[in-house]
Structure 1
Amino acid sequence: MNNWIKRNSGHLIVAAIFFVLTYAYFLSPILQGKVLYQSDVLQAKAMQKEIMDVKEKTGHAPLWTNQMFGGMPSYQIWAKYGKNLTTYVIDGLKVIFPNPVDTVLLYLFGAYLLFCTLNLNRWLAAAGAIAFAFSSYNFIYIEAGHANQAYAIAFFAPIVAGIIMTLRGRYILGSALTAFFLAMEIRSNHVQMTYYLLLAIIILVFIELYHAIKTKANRPFFKAIAYLFAGTILAVLVNAGSLWTTYEYSKYTIRGQPNLKSEKTEASTGLDKDYAYNWSQGVTEVFTFFIPNAYGGGSGTTAGQDSKVAKALMEKGVDAGQAQQFASQIPLYWGNKPSTSGPWYFGAIVFFLFVLGLIIVKNRIKWWLLGAVLLSVFLSFGKNLPFLSDLFFNYFPLYNKFRAVESTLVIASLCFPVLAFLALNEVYINPDKKYIWDKTKLAFYISGGLTLLMIILPGIFLSFKSTEHQNFVNALSQAFRGDTGMANSVANALIEDRQALERQDAIRTLIFIALAFGLIYILIKQKINTTFAAIAFMGIVLIDMWSVDKRYLKDDTFVDRSLIDQAYVPREIDEFIMRDKDPNFRVMDLTLQDPFRDSHSSYFYKTVGGFHSARLRRFDELMENQFTKSINQDVLDMLNTKYIITPDPKTGAASMRANSTACGNAWFVKSVKYVKDADEEMVAISSFSPKDEAMIDERYKKLVEAKPLGYDANATIKLTSYTPEHLTYQTGSTANQVAVFSEIYYDKGWTMLIDGVEQPYYRADYLLRAATIPVGNHKIEFIFHPTSYYTGENISLAGSVLLILALGGAVYTERKKKQPEVKKG
């Protein structure tokens, strides 16, 4: 044990530094017992309410919830996947470390493994890990509550490390680590991030293939690929439950095929292009990579009380208090994204070293890093570079399933620091110091000169005007009662404020570049040793990145736990509705700004609306066609909307009315009307009597009329037992009749039993379940038991056992290699 500690003392010191840095960043809120206020996490809390309530009561988390959008599978909301090994690894991390300490530690240790794999000494590797971990969006994602996304990004570096190990000949260890970290990546359940990583890995593999062919090293390359393929299959097996359910469900969500002909386009198997491109990076917004406030910071960054905007208003006679208040409401961000939490900042020092790396790094890894950076940056432009983006969106598999294309920059945020610190490593190991110094000066002239230009003449590259600038001026003119001179004066002052903010950060960037340049100079001149230089780089990189991160993920972002608990305090109206003993009715809350983009009401009761980016497409189509222009009362009735909450048009106060025409949990209809397709069905439910008639696609006609239909006006059908996954009804009728159930139709897992025997059911009224119920008294059950989950879980268990064996085998093999051979004789 003592020998092991001695051999690994350097790594243990680095680990201690990582722990100290991470806890230091969050020290104040941790000591005060505060928690991170994350809007997306609060939304998720409401989405998960029914799931967690049932789990607490029964010990089993249901795979279906009726809490929002009428009902949907819970796979993408919360699911245990208890036979997946990585579930327990992630749970263990969250138990040991407070949120978000666990995520930052994963950033650091994962990147450290990659840099060590690239043969950097431990201090350079530690500095590189800090540069990656503290990249601005790694912290912005945490602040926004994108926990799964942040976790997925944290496993990028160790996956790449495992791949490189394997490609360099450490087949067993490399492929085992790749399998483990890829399994963790997949379990993080952010397919978009994993997809972008895959694009980068494809570039790496092709570059390695080219090198293998060039050097005639085909055999070891393909051997490595075979091991990596096996590791990938293993990671997939470990996550079979989540992957199978996600794949199956995705085809029925807004990322799947539209049902309406009017919505079918060349990319109709995915998201709407405008929706996917909504968050596109501006082409010149890349200046934020090294000047964080080049585009005004985040949407929450405002002109402020001491701004030129405030002064311009006061010069026009506006009261100082009003002028300062007005200025504090004007955002300085001027890009064309609808909003942004902050800039993609990779670091001033990292930028300088990245430029240096493009010049001096000879390792073929450079070409992978450059290729991945260019692809991720160009794709992030989205609508601002439609040629390339449309090519991927229309023709690359799965690419059109993802929104917010600026997220491709997560690849650049990994590649920038990797190439930067490969460059610094080259400074360390290259014996030709004159060559290194000449190239360092060139990199300084390029990066420093560009930054200097951004200080002196920023208008050469940046306009500091949003695409809506003229509309803003017109709105000001209207607010100032037609005084266009005053409006233009304020608008010009706003441009000056934006320029001042950019110039201030550009000066900051130039200082850090100069510090890095100076450090390399004294290192080359042997004024300091390499260890001290690495520690110095670690320090200045940390100061650079830390100070920018604190603009976004700061102590003020943390709040008392009581405030989180108070986020869902019921109103008097909510308390009244919750006293209703009916187990499965719905509520339409129109007091929300957008009831279909807000899960708040779902915390208290089952809602027609809600929030989820993977909602069922049929419900999304219903929402767009029946609720956007006006609220269709007939559709509310068929969804068993028992209560409708509306705001007072003058005061905004909430008022509630009971909906007396709600159809109930289930009912028998008098007649059936057949429609030929989804478009006709959507038109049919625009105005109909859901209690009396059912609109059914003609494809189900044989099922509907399997038995002669009649109608019994006195027939009864009643919900007698409810859990999200198991609903029981009791019926009584003197005729075979069609019953409509106010439950969302999803045939991948739901089965219907009549007196314990499985029977067919079908879809009615565009998205509800219906069935032909035979004459007599019967027990009807709907049970959700998806094969994709339960069989997938068994596969996950087998994969988890194999992964443990693979990791154990890798450790055994590595230890055996290190054991000295015993000489015979």
Structure 2
Amino acid sequence: MNLLNLHGILIEERRPTFWIMDFTKKNTIVPHFLAILSFYLLVVAYFSPLVFEGKMMFQTDILQWEGSAKELLDHREGTGEEALWTNRMFGGMPAYLIHLDPKGDFTNTLLKVFTLGLPHPISALFFGMTAMYLLLLGFRVRPLVAVLGAWAFAFNTFNFLSLEAGHNAKIWAVCLIPLLLTGVHLAFHGKKLLGIALTALAVLLQLKFNHLQITYYTLILVIGYGIAQLLVFFREKRLPEFAKITAFLLAAAIVGGLGNLARLSSVLEYGAYSIRGESNLPQAGQNTSGLDREYAFNWSNGKLESFTLLIPNYFGGASQQPLPEDSKSEQALRAQGADPAQINQFVQNAPTYWGDQPFTGGPIYGGVILVFFFVLGLFFAPAPYRNVFLTLTLLSLMLSWGKNLAWFNFTLFDYLPGYNKFRAVSMALGITLFLVPLLGALGLENLLQKPQTPQTKKGFFMAVGITVGLIVLAVVIAFGLNFQGANAAGYPDWLLNALKADRQRLLLSDAYHSLFFIGGAALLIALIRYKTLPSRWALLGVGLLILIDVWTVNRRYLNEESFTEDPSAQHFAPSPADRKILQDSGYFRVLNIQNPFNEARTSYYFNSIGGYHGAKMSRYQDLIERVLTPEMNEFIKKAQEGNFDYEAIPVLNMLNTRYILAGRAENAVFTNPEANGPAWFPERIVPVGSNEEEIKKLAELQTKTEATVTPADGENVPAAGSGILTLESRGPDQLSYTAKVDKAGLAVFSEIYYPKGWKAFVNGTETDIHRVNYLLRGIVLPEGEVDVEMVFQPDRYYQTRTLSTIFQYAVVLLLLAGGYLETKNRFQA
């Protein structure tokens, strides 16, 4: 690679840095074909039970999603239409937060083509490897080294733990990062049209998965890379060209984003009304908008937990995982005379993790060999890339530390636009595990290109020494700690001491594991440098070591036991309690008092008071915290004493809670005779002047006879009406009532108020919907026989749906044009 020295900084000569497969030359096609084939076969081999046996992964979050989306999927199957509202969670919420496949959207078809028909979600890993391979080719890394970087990128534990948990959208968003950077990199290095096209495609696909936190981190990464390019263009006195390329890239990103306009605009519109928007009940010392700090930073990676990049079991691995045979804990339990079944239960689910997080599915590990190559990159990668990728890696680690680096992360949380909408900041490690193989592959490639000189030799051995030294330092630091962690309460000293010894054993075992793989990789690279072994075979040996390393660590967390015949059938099999409630064909809600606001199994069958979602409506969260939880706790306390005081839960009654579920047995179902029903006329209207006043009033309101209203400036308080309301038909986003109104006035409907889409029609004429009782709907009805219809028709969605499809076609046409031009130029070259 030709390099120029400008002001003492090594930079790449400005020339095209990417090649399309030349189908006229066999020796050009074969490496790329074999690379892509390896990606495909690796995914198929690891997930063979899914591909060949028809099994599925038991993904907890996906089962939660299935429960929440069941009404929507049934509605689509029965009518062929997409429902935009669901009544199954938290009393009701927009469906596009859960599931949406807009009419005309063909991104799913694109992904099927790009991933060669691999099943979702493992297709993301194949796509990620292919995209990483293309990115490294764009940096002029030889195909075999690019393959090693691609393997390591996809097969890190971040991706596999996410798969095991069911965080499929997050995996896809991460696996699209290299495609986006490929587009940006090519645009700055002589392949403008192709780079712009790939940028538009990557933005289109990443935003499709609606994981805005990963998109936010991706934006930080691209901005960092852009700054590095700005410095180079500035030194070369080519700022106008930089501005032109940047403008085209921004345009491409906008086109890609507009391909998701219907989905994104609806979600962003809802954001103002969710727990990530402005608070309805601001408290002193808390943010008035965005998430609460404590909630956002609950999953903060410990600073020392970053050593898991080198030693997987540095902090014990997962919160619970099996101990090795003849562990100290097993010996201690046996010595205490514990029952063999109890011993086995403890040993198979031992609390090995002793880090800072509340719990974890496993460590963040991407292969110690790639960390070694990353250190090589600090010595041998071109300076602009070394500097920017090192800086971004350190930044991603700092972001992942969250509250453990409070001065930095709290400042970003308070002042960086949009950053306070996100939680689980340890997710930034997904960026770390992208940058480590990227700089690592660059480091290895540039080392292999350099002649053997004393300086090169010194840099190589310093990289080995630094990596080994970091492992030794990590072990020394760990043994200076107590191996106890924050979650050790409740264990007797004899068991806790044994558990500490087992944690030490796990750490040392993985430290030796890492030293072995570093030694093997370093030896193979040295054999290349001393021309003892052909580079092809040595690099294949390194690749085998990388695969063995990451494969064996991943098998600790995602293995044969993670696959089952039909997890949905098992999880959602109707219990005796479900069957009892299902006999009631009426319209009502169910309260499952067992973890109600963090489970969606109830939503599979019934309209639920609870649910599972990270972006609940803020007013409903207020209700949970200020009214529902105290009301539930008091009811449970009385019920345990034999007093089922249904009249003392007026807000649950207001939400039409006909059944209270306390388990899966038939006798765990309790029928609430005091539920208010779908709609009613209150006898008294109580005006309130603020949200705080209203929610306090709601806690003492007699909801059958009273209703609160916050009149707008200049508005009169609506009069109380009287009569009979009957629900005639219902669907996810449509409700029809008939009413015999004796006295004109306000009727209350046990439906969640959301102003961006719900429309009411009284006798065919559109009528205002009032917010009553803090979060329900109210409509003023005229005297006489009345028909009331409510439909959810969000204007934003319908106005943008066609535009989304148009821009998706624009991205595809741009991609075809870029590919055609590149191929044409290649044949003419």
**TM-score (normalised: structure 2):** 0.92
Per the alignment, in what secondary structure is the counterpart of residue 787 of structure 2? strand
- Tell me whether 1:789 sits opposite 2:797 in the alignment: yes
Matches within 5 A, 1:314-329: 314-316=334-336, 318=338, 322-323=342-343, 325-329=345-349
Q: In structure 1, which of residues 114, 117, 125 is the aligned counterpart of residue 146 of structure 2? A: 125
**Alpha-carbon distance in 2 for matches of 1:355, 1:19:** 29
Aligned to 1:509: 514
How far apart in 1 are the matches of 2:350 and 2:720?
66
1:669 aligns with 2:682: yes
Q: Alignment partner of 1:734: what SS?
A: strand
Matched, 1:233 2:254: yes
Distance 2:23 2:116 in 1: 29
2: CA distance, partners of 1:316 / 1:605: 48
Counterpart CA distance in 1 for 2:768 and 2:568 is 45
Distance 2:226 2:697 in 1: 53
Q: Any conservation in 1 of the 2:372–2:463 contact (CA below 8 Å)?
A: yes
Secondary structure of 1:629's aligned partner: helix
Contact 2:393 / 2:431 at 8 angstroms: preserved in 1?
yes
Residue 308 in structure 1 maps to residue 328 in structure 2: yes
Q: 1:297 aligns with which of 301, 317, 330?
A: 317
Q: Are the counterparts in 1 of residues 91 and 655 from structure 2 also a CA contact under 8 Å?
A: yes
Distance 1:518 1:330 in 2: 37
Equivalence map 1:171-250=2 (5 Å)? 171-250=192-271
Aligned equivalent of 1:575: 579
Structure 1 window deviating more from structure 2 (38-47 vs 776-785): it is 776-785
Q: Does the aligned pair in 2 maintain the 1:669–1:737 contact within 8 Å?
A: no
1:711-764 per-residue CA deviation (whole Å, 9 max, x = no partner) reads 44xx22111121111111112223211100110000101111112221111100
Q: Which amino acid aligns with 1:645?
A: L
Secondary structure at the residue paired with 2:598? coil
Contact 1:305–1:325 (CA<8 Å) still a contact in 2?
no
Question: Is residue 375 of structure 2 the alignment partner of residue 355 of structure 1?
Answer: yes
2:485 paired with 1:466:
yes
Taking a change above 3 Å as real, the CA distance of residues 241 and 672 of structure 1, as seen in their structure-2 partners, is same
Q: Which residue of 2 aligns with 1:288?
A: 308
Question: Judging changes above 3 Å, is the alpha-carbon distance between structure 1 residues 371 and 156 closer, same or farther for their aligned structure 2 residues?
Answer: same
Q: Which of 816, 819, 823 is the equivalent residue of 1:808?
A: 816
Matched, 1:755 2:771: no
CA displacement 1:681-720 (0-9 Å, x = unmatched): 1111112221211111132772654xxx4644xx221111
Query: Aligned partner of 2:624: which letter?
Result: M
Q: State the shift of 1:468 in Å.
A: 4.3
Of 699, 724, 737, which residue of structure 2 is paired with 1:729? Answer: 737
Q: Distance in 1 between matches of 2:662 and 2:343?
A: 36
**Shift of residue 362, structure 1, vs aligned partner:** 2.4
**CA shift for structure 1 position 363:** 3.7
Which residue number in structure 1 is paired with residue 631 of structure 2?
Answer: 630
Task: Measure the CA separation in 1 of the matches of 2:827 and 2:70.
Answer: 54
- 1:76 correspondence with 2:97: yes
**1:325, distance to aligned residue in structure 2 (A):** 4.3
Aligned counterpart, 2:525: 520
Q: Which residue of 2 aligns with 1:698?
A: 711
What is the rounded CA distance, in whole Å, between the counterparts of 2:487 and 2:818 in structure 1?
Answer: 58
Preserved contact between residue 158 and residue 178 of structure 1 (Cα < 8 Å): yes
Between 779-788 and 264-273, report the one with greater CA deviation.
264-273
- The CA distance in 2 between the partners of 1:130 and 1:195, in whole Å, is 25
* 1:141 Cα deviation after fit: 0.6
- Two-structure CA RMSD over aligned residues (Å): 2.1
Unmatched tracts of structure 1, length 5 or more: 477-486
**Larger CA deviation: 427-436 vs 602-611:** 427-436
Letter in 1 for 2:572: Y
Runs of 4+ in 1 over 6 A off after TM superposition: none
Q: 1:5 to 1:790 in 2, by over 3 A?
A: farther
Per the alignment, do residues 146 and 276 of structure 1 end up closer, same or farther by CA in structure 2, a change over 3 Å counting? same
Tell me how far 1:322 sits from its aligned partner: 4.7
Native 8 Å contact 2:369 2:546 kept in 1: yes
Out of 635, 643, 655, the residue aligned to residue 639 of structure 1 is 655
Cα distance, 1:370–1:55 mapped onto 2, change above 3 Å: same
What displacement does 1:462 show? 4.5
Question: Counterparts of 2:505 and 2:66 in 1: how far apart (Å)?
Answer: 41
Show the counterpart of 2:134. 113
Matches of residues 765-784 of structure 1 in structure 2 within 5 Å? 765-784=773-792
> What is the match of residue 640 of structure 2?
none
Give the match's secondary structure for 2:614.
coil
Distance, in Å, in 2 between the alignment partners of 1:754 and 1:95 is 52
SS at match of 2:278: coil
Partner of 2:124: 103
Aligned partners of 1:7 and 1:359: how far apart in 2? 30
Asked if structure 1 preserves the Cα contact closer than 8 Å seen for 2:317 and 2:363, the reply is yes
Shift of 1:654: 4.7
Higher mean Cα deviation, 207-216 or 614-623?
A: 207-216
* Percent identical: 34
Correspondence 1:146-185 to 2 at 5 A: 146-185=167-206
Q: Provide the rounded CA distance (Å) in 1 between the counterparts of 2:246 and 2:191.
A: 12
What does 1:427-442 align with in structure 2 at a 5 Å threshold?
A: 427-442=447-462
**Counterpart of 1:744?**
752
Q: Which runs of 5+ in 2 are unaligned?
A: 1-21, 633-647
8 Å Cα contact 2:662-2:669 kept in structure 1:
yes
Measured against aligned partners, the alpha-carbon deviations of 1:11-45 in whole angstroms (never above 9, x if no partner) come to 11111121121111122453332111101111111
Amino acid at match of 1:334: W
CA apart distance, 1:627: 2.3
CA distance in 2, matches of 1:203, 1:747: 39
Q: What is the 5 A alignment of 1:326-337?
A: 326-337=346-357
Q: 1:449 aligns with which of 464, 469, 478?
A: 469
CA shift, 1:7, in A, is: 4.1
**What residue is the counterpart of 2:601 in the other structure?**
600
Paired residue total: 793
Structure 2 counterpart SS, 1:228: helix
Q: Note if contact 2:307-2:474 (Cα within 8 Å) is conserved in structure 1.
A: no
